[in-house]
Chains A and B, each alone.
Chain A
Amino acid sequence: MPQPSLVTHDLTVRFGGHVAVDAVSCAFTPGELTAIVGPNGAGKTTYFNLISGQIRATAGRVELLGQDITRLPVSARTEAGLGRAFQLTNLFPRLTVLENVRLVVQARARRGFNLWTMAQGHRDLIDQAEQVLERVRLTHLANQTVAALSHGDQRKLEVAAMIALKPRVFMFDEPTAGMSVEEAPVILDLIAGIKADAQATVLLVEHKMDVIRSLADRIIVLHNGALVADGPPAEVMASDVVQEAYLGKELTDV
């Protein structure tokens, strides 16, 4: 059994009186794709926010690769090996597709404080960015601004940015949300490709059952902020607690 790469210990956040994430303890290991499910408002995105640092925990700890990252700022967590794609598209809208990826590659290479060279001169960074675009088949749009892209291509670009970042732990928050039935499989193929790397730990928030069935090695269920089930997909999906949490509504085949 490999060492877990990401662990949360009693991770909790309270907004006023409302406990959005309630003492969630969970470990994630490399080579495993964990689907995180739960009804709307269950706290899935908030759980992600606590792990990647957009929100500070009220209590509990987050450990990444053995390091306590609970108090680190977002950028330091990214440097430490965390990569996050957001539920709502989050890119640099007026920059080009290539620049969006190049910035990620540049961050990873830690050249952001280079003040005295031309960004254009860092050929290796541009090459790497172009390779990633090639891999996700966005090369033909490289010089378009992001704002001019279709929603589907924007989501694809977000996955491209994750690939460029090469984190140890990938966090996807409904990566196919709002995509058409034809577009979604491309994203899922890319995630399957990421999962193929035995070093990668993947967390995936997803509502669509067919997606979970084809990708997930494990499912955890959040309900009212608490972790209520954890196990292999078939087992968890059959359990009463899941049926109850979803009231048989959302966890259906699409």
Chain B
Amino acid sequence: MMRLLSGDAPRSRVLALLLALILLALAFAPFLFPGSRSLETAARICVVIVLVASYDLLLGYGGIVSFAHTMFFGMGAYGVAIAADRMGPGYDALALGALAGLIAAGIVALLVALLSLRVRAIFFAMITLAIASAVAVLVSQLSAYTGGEDGMNLRIPRELTPAFRMGEVFGLRITGKILNYYLVFTGCLALFLVMLRIVNSPFGRVMLAIRENAFRAEAIGYRVVVYRAVATCLSAMIAALAGSLFAIWLRYVGPSTTLGMELMMDILLIVVIGGMGTMYGAVVGTAIFVLAQNYLKELMGGLSEATSALPLIPDLLSPDRWLLWLGVLFILSVYFFPTGIVGRLRGTR
């Protein structure tokens, strides 16, 4: 068990419990929460956990602020979509597309890193913002390949679609959609464990050292630009793989689902809420955030009706205000848990 976690114990009973709960809920999601909506939510949580964790690798461990993370996510997603579009619905197309996305993300990340890791952090952040915007524009312009603003639907192997049936387990009809879910779940779990391994390796320790004091890390013999470049590439490549899984799950890619600034903002918020530089923060933060995003509206709708007799309160609780409340939740969590939920649970200030 500790080997699987690379020796990175949760170091807090509540955190261990939360993680176990989330893992079990995701592992048995099709059985515990039947219905396509909850399965969508579960799959989204899996993918976003990996996406956020890969961003944590960059921000929490490397101290690198980048706004181009969804761009790499998009590369993986579009890689699979374009390959499936050209080669037809086969596993070879999916694998090749994911590989192409992975390599493209690695190369672009390396270029971005070499171009700008020498400049001050604030300039690096702005450069990534510019590149991400440029790529988003490019994707919507190159509609012959990418489907432009409309995005593109993926044809994937029949075994991964709802049309495929293969009998019942525990009274649940196993469809291709459920197989697809388990592909996403297994892929994401593997990627998460890989990242846990990386952050607890000698390399991960160097990244922490660089975040703490880059000047000193360089002085004791670590070539900071190279370490940062490697971290940028790794983080981009893992994000690309998450993107590939997401595209296969949704059977659709479009600028808004994969490249959008909104998604980038979500990632930033989740990293901060969950706790930077902890990896587990990505798990807890994502679970809470995605659930809030998906169910806060309904909860508020219910509350609004229940309080309809009172003045003002139903208006405040109107489902249209859900973003406001999400914002309030965010501010409160940053105020009370400046080191994120995981930092708080581990008892660090």
Contacts and interface: CB of A to CB of B under 8 A. Distances in A.
B203 A90 contact: no
B7 A118 contact: yes
Interface string A112-146: 11111111111000000000000000000000000
A84 B198 CA distance: 29
Interface string A78-94: 11000010100011111
B208 interface: yes
A122 B202 CA distance: 9
Nearest to B208: A95
A117 B201 contact: yes
B216 A118 contact: no
Given A103-B209, A114-B201, A118-B6, A161 B220 contact: yes
B213 interface: yes
B312 to A, nearest CB: 45
Nearest to A146: B212
A93 B209 CA distance: 10
Interface string B171-212: 000000000000000000000000001101111111011001
Interface stretch (B68-76, B97-105, B221-229): B221-229
B11 to A, nearest CB: 14
A112 B234 CA distance: 15
Chain B interface: which size bin?
20 to 34
Contacts of A161: 220
Interface in B1-49: 6-7
A231 interface: no
A67 interface: no
Contacts of B218: 73-75
Q: Among the interface residues A79, A90, A115, which one has the most CB atoms of the partner chain B within 10 A?
A: A115
Interface in A21-45: none
A93 B212 contact: yes
Interface string A157-183: 000010001000000000000000000
B223 A103 contact: no
A78 B7 contact: no
Nearest to A94: B212
A245 interface: no
B215 interface: yes
Given A90-B215, A95-B212, A114-B201, A78 B206 contact: no
A104 interface: yes
A116 B213 contact: no
Contacts of A90: 213, 215-216, 219
Given A99-B205, A103-B205, A103-B209, A75 B222 contact: yes
B268 interface: no
Contacts of A94: 212
A151 interface: no
Contacts of A117: 201-202
Contacts of B95: none
Contacts of B219: 52, 54, 74-75, 78, 84, 86, 90
A54 to B, nearest CB: 8
Contacts of B129: none
A91 B222 CA distance: 14
A90 B227 CA distance: 20
Contacts of A234: none
B230 interface: yes
B168 to A, nearest CB: 41
Given A92-B213, A93-B213, A111-B202, A116 B197 contact: yes
Q: Among the interface residues A54, A93, A104, A113, which one has the most CB atoms of the partner chain B within 10 A?
A: A113
B201 A103 contact: no
A113 B215 CA distance: 18
Contacts of B206: 103, 106, 112
A254 B144 CA distance: 80
A113 B221 contact: no
Q: Among the interface residues B6, B200, B219, which one has the most CB atoms of the partner chain A within 10 A?
A: B219
Interface in B214-255: 215-224, 227, 230, 234
Given A78-B220, A120-B7, 5 more contacts: A52-B219, A74-B218, A86-B219, A92-B213, A95-B208
20 contacts: A54-B219, A74-B218, A75-B221, A78-B219, A78-B220, A79-B221, A90-B216, A90-B219, A91-B213, A92-B213, A93-B213, A95-B212, A99-B205, A103-B209, A104-B221, A112-B227, A113-B230, A115-B201, A115-B204, A118-B197
A-B pairs with lowest CB-CB distance, top 3: A107-B221, A78-B221, A92-B212
Interface of B: 6-7, 197-198, 200-206, 208-209, 212-213, 215-224, 227, 230, 234
